[in-house]
Structure 1
Amino acid sequence: MINRVIYNGKVYYKVADLADLFEVSKYKMRNIIKTQDIGTTLKGFGRAVFVMEENVAKIEVRNEVKILETRFTADPVKKTKTVKEPVIPVEKTAKRTKKAKKEKKRADVVEMAVKKVDEKLQREFEELMEKGRKLGTELYLANKMSVANAISDEHFGTGGDFLKARINDIEKLRLIIPKLEDAVAELLEPSDESEVPLNDDTSNDEAELSF
């Protein structure tokens, strides 16, 4: 392996390296360089003799010359930029952490409140449905199913079944249950009082329970 010395943008070789390249002694290589007058010294390298790369072709040993060529890239020195990460003061970090904890706690409280509201609504819905089943059964046993159907149709449309209601229908159930309670209460009134049907179709009193 031959060593190169780059000086002021030029490539130079030491006598010893050229002697190894041409397989001759240092003494003989020194004489050849001196004869060709291609040797030079470089500032900062003492008395050492160097040969510029383009002059190596002038050295002839055993009727043989060698041409050396060093190729450089357009920019042999790669430049990179370092990105310095911003240093966040400990005080600011602590404030941000404390603020984040407060926001999380506030969000947890809101979530808990919503959850409690949902649970309360669910309980009310289940209670209304259970009460509706009992009232509907009482009207069915009293052959007053047409009354229950009429109340259900009023809020859920013709043929609608309030016992198939979902929690989104809780407002309708809140209106239906009191009317069913009134209808059942009328069953307890004296039988000599006239009974006023809720609609003209009373032929379905003995129909099967549709809900």
Structure 2
Amino acid sequence: MTRKDLVFTRSRKGIKDKYDEAMKLLEYSIILVKLFEIKEFNNVIAAQLRLLLCDITKDGDNSLIRKIQPDPKLFPINELSILNEKGHAFIEAEMFNYNKPMIPLTDWLNQVILTMNLQGKKQNITILNFIKFSANKGGGAHVDSDLVEKSFIVDIHSDEYLCDIALGLFRSVGRDFNLNSEKHVAYLISKFKGKASE
């Protein structure tokens, strides 16, 4: 008779280490996208945002942020600006409003950050849509051949939005991206110099 596999529970420290690892991957990926213009790392950003914020499975919410902080709150977005008579709308300049009170994660994920009108049908794209469609259909973890309208819109605009979503997350949880990115770039340069002199 074959025994069942043993199940091991990750410690609180183990979960925190995975959370910090995902945050560090986000930081490095943003550096590679914004500073070095390597857009392919948007796929890494999408996958890490899903892991951190909206990793929903049939067994429930497996998001790392909820394992660290059961009731996370984040800064809300700024208002949408109407772009044209078709009803296209987007957020100008800074995506998040750091002067307003923080809101629960579920409300934060359901905020509309882009509105488009495709052939007479209005599509409201939320933060959750951007993360999930980018991660699940656009290359973060999977690539779909056929894209429904919302997925198509996200696929086209993910370069513009994913980094901003991650930066809003950092600010909301008190993570200093500017300080950390300086350290990361200095580390990369020192490693590069070390390898170049070998």
- TM-score, normalised to structure 2, is 0.24
Give the structure, 1 or 2, with the largest relative contact order (CA under 8 Å, sep 6 or more): 2
Larger Rg: 1
